[in-house]
Amino acid sequence: MPELPEVETIARGVHAAVAGRTIEAVGVPRPDVLREVTARTFAKRVRGTTILESRRRAKHIVVTLDNSDSLVVQPRFTGALLATRGSELTDYDRHYTAVLLGLDSGYVLAYRDVRRLGTVSLMNPERLGEYFGELGDEPLEEGFTGARLSAILGASRQPVKKVIMDQYKVVGVGNIYANEALWRAGIDPSRAADRITPGEASDLRDAIVAVLDEAIASGGSSIRDYRNATGEAGAFSEFLCAYGRADEECYRCGAKLIETHAIDGRQTVFCSHCQS
């Protein structure tokens, strides 16, 4: 599933390719990805508008239109938002495209989703505020300090890994970057959140921010179907220290990394020697 860095990369790529362009044609070949709007209403509200910007909020891409509506795309497992020349869409892209917007520049904005578990919504500003208002802290915003994370952790007895992956507490940190941040901070992922000291919370905050920033800088990690807005894979997978490295040597202490699914049913990889 794309996490914050992948969605940030997609949103920036889409912005660079389509901001300022007008949507001339709207097609919804697979309307089951739509939420909160019918295909007919979607087409009517979107056609003829100009794209003001594309940005990330949590794990969503928010494309704001000049009629104040926003397209809200949540790629989830296999979704990709491609901004490319219409002639460059492959047969694979076309087959799995659920929503297709034709722009005045000759580009298209295509939401492609093989399993169609992702969603596309259209929201007015009020609904947008309500929808995102329920979510947790943005880890790359200034307010996300060590003290803030310490307060969030202190309110839960759940394993620290589960808490930092909880979208109602901190947004955008999924399984890959939770594993990485906990490894960097030297914290055992199964520890009860309310037993994490303020100093450890501060280290963990720094590790979360660093791992997300580095992943954005390398265009995200390529896991399964993730592609950026121009259809390219990300490079961060090569730098992962914990995720996907079960039974390999810890880069910090040389001990063998351990894999467990006992914390949250997901793959957790950690070093029992230097994460405590």
Residue positions annotated with a catalytic role = 2-3, 59, 266
Q: What angle do CA 170, 119, 66 make, to 5 degrees?
A: 90
Q: Which stretch binds Zn ion (CB under 5 A): 25-33, 190-198, 235-243, 246-254?
A: 246-254
186 binds Zn ion (CB under 5 A): no
253 binds Zn ion (CB under 5 A): yes
| Smaller CB separation from Zn ion, 135 or 274 | 274
The least distance separating Zn ion from the CB of residue 253, rounded to whole angstroms, comes to: 3
Number of residues that bind Zn ion (CB under 5 A): 7
Q: How far apart are CA 145 and CA 227, in angstroms?
A: 31
Near Zn ion in 46-75, by CB under 5 A: none
273 binds Zn ion (CB under 5 A): yes
Q: Residues 252, 258, 260, 267: which binds Zn ion (CB under 5 A)?
A: 252
| Smaller CB separation from Zn ion, 32 or 248 | 248
The least distance separating Zn ion from the CB of residue 124, rounded to whole angstroms, comes to: 50
Query: To the nearest 10°, the Cα dihedral for 238, 240, 244, 248?
Result: 100
Q: Residues 250, 263, 264, 269: which binds Zn ion (CB under 5 A)?
A: 250
User: In this structure, which amino acid lies at residue 234?
Assistant: G
246 binds Zn ion (CB under 5 A): no
